Amino acid sequence: MAIQQLQGLIAAPFTPMHSNGSLNLELIPRYYKMLKANGVNGAFICGSTGEGVSMSVKEKKAVAETWAACTKGDNDFIVMPLLGGTCLTDCKELALHAREIGLGAVSFTSPFYFKPANVEMLAQCCAEVASVVPDMPFYYYHIPVLTGVGFTMFDLLKAIDGLIPNFAGVKYTHEDFMDFLSCINFQNGKYDMLWGRDENMLPALSVGARAAVGSTFNYAAPLYYNLIDAFNSGDLTKARLLQQKSIDMIRLLGKYGGIATGKAYMKLIHLDCGEFRLPVKNMSSADFESFKKDVEQLGFGNFCSKQQVIAV
């Protein structure tokens, strides 16, 4: 099958939650409109940012169905769910569901409890899941910091090439630029390599990245499009300053407890996605007030994503 290589920014959305931890599906259509209003080209749902590992199969299906419904007919916006990686049976069920509701692609990450012994075993896992949706682009999600599976993706591409006809590429959330560049050049650019480290976008652009998937694109997409424009126009001084602004913003995630800080950023753009489920630590009310002051010092309002303006 012909694989369309993606371009630009693809957000990894937070899964909206009510105060009791249940899904807040009603927010997703407004979420989609906000991403579109800021030039984002797609949504990588139920991934790390989307708490896919903390949701049941039933909940993942509900989230996917809501995204499918509100993006129906928008051929310029791809929705790709992360199927999971621990139970292949669940992954295949979710892949078939994604095809049934009309999503654009699916993604799979390595089993991370019983880990594959070598890259060939990982390729077999990918092949088993991808085979149930042979007409859908299938991406591997490489995030060794969370899975503990660190095979080079160049070796995975060699193991997969010719084995999985619908293999589209890799969502690459790691810092190995030697491996990433080798994957970009594999078989004359045959596979789509989606960059997954927002804080390292500039070096990724320098080795040929054309698309990126990230959590901070939810609330700071204009910053990254300005960075891309600066790079493409050859203004590396400006591009470096914008990347540093991204890093300063991302440093606050570490200061305030990690991944859940992203939902605090979302509150500041008036899209309240609730909190993360256990075992993730959420920010206290006192910390949120301190966080707001730190964010203001960044000049967040000058580069944050904006809500869609609706004519009255």
Residues with a known catalytic role = 141, 171
Q: Residues 167, 41, 83, 179: is their CA dihedral positive or negative?
A: positive
| Pairwise CA distance, residues 130 & 123, whole Å | 10
DSSP state of 284: P
Q: In 163-261, at which residue ranges do the beta strands (DSSP E only) sit?
A: 167-172, 192-195, 211-214
Structure tokens at 131: 């085979």
Over its C-alpha atoms, the chain yields an Rg (Å, rounded) of: 19
Give the CA distances from residue 191 to residues 77, 128, 163, 201, 219, in Å, rounded to whole numbers and listed in that order.
Answer: 20, 19, 14, 19, 28
Q: In the chain, at which residue ranges do the beta strands (DSSP E only) sit?
A: 8-11, 42-45, 78-81, 106-109, 138-142, 167-172, 192-195, 211-214
Containing 245, the helix (H) or strand (E) segment is helix 236-255
**Is residue 133 a contact partner of residue 127, using CB atoms and an 8 Å limit?**
no
Which of 212, 210, 153 lies closest to 180 in space, CA to CA? 153
